[in-house]
Amino acid sequence: MCAFEEMGSSSSCENSLNKDNLKTAIADAITRRYATSNKNMVEKVEYDADSRMIVVDVKKPKGDRKNDLTNMAYYMEKDVKVLPLFKNQEKFAATMGGQQVEMEKILVYYVDEEPPTFTMKNLSGGIIAVIVVVVLAVVAGLLVLFFARKRQNQRYNKAQSRELEPM
């Protein structure tokens, strides 16, 4: 899944934007500009007229290896920022009713098909190693304390003097 947050539109068609026409226009622009074979990749479009923001959710079917959303998102971001990497130096713009909806800024969020999973199986070896190191450090510390105390007691204890027994 890839969500594109495209901000801004031309002032002449701000009031005439509706979600269905906008969805179709953006899907056509993506298909035409980035040579994607699936127009149904644009899942939903949200438009906020007050903030002049268009949020487009683009999703590809699971297992689809023909369309590469990461490359498309990269090129779209460059196009909107007026740094096109194509020979055709035009900005990315959707055409609605003969008018172009130009984008001022773009934010791209990419989410992989399958979310990453973390299991304890991968961490169990590391956890066991940490526990062993901590236990060995504690045992070594206790042994050092024991031998230091023993040596200290041997230094300061005088040997008991024996009285010679009469022979």
38 closest CA partner among 20, 9, 62: 62
Any idea where the domains of the chain sit in the sequence? 2-110, 122-155
Instruction: Please report the pLDDT score of residue 134 as a whole number.
Output: 98
- pLDDT digit string, tens, across residues 116-153: 677 777 777 888 899 999 999 999 999 999 999 988 88
Instruction: Please report the pLDDT score of residue 13 as a whole number.
Output: 44
Instruction: Please report the pLDDT score of residue 151 as a whole number.
Output: 86
Identify whether the C-beta of residue 49 lies closer than 8 Å to the C-beta of residue 40: no
Instruction: Please report the pLDDT score of residue 4 as a whole number.
Output: 47
Instruction: Please report the pLDDT score of residue 112 as a whole number.
Output: 67
- pLDDT digit string, tens, across residues 67-103: 777 777 777 777 777 666 666 666 677 777 777 777 7
Identify whether the C-beta of residue 79 lies closer than 8 Å to the C-beta of residue 32: no
107 closest CA partner among 32, 53, 36, 48: 53
pTM (2 decimals)?
A: 0.52
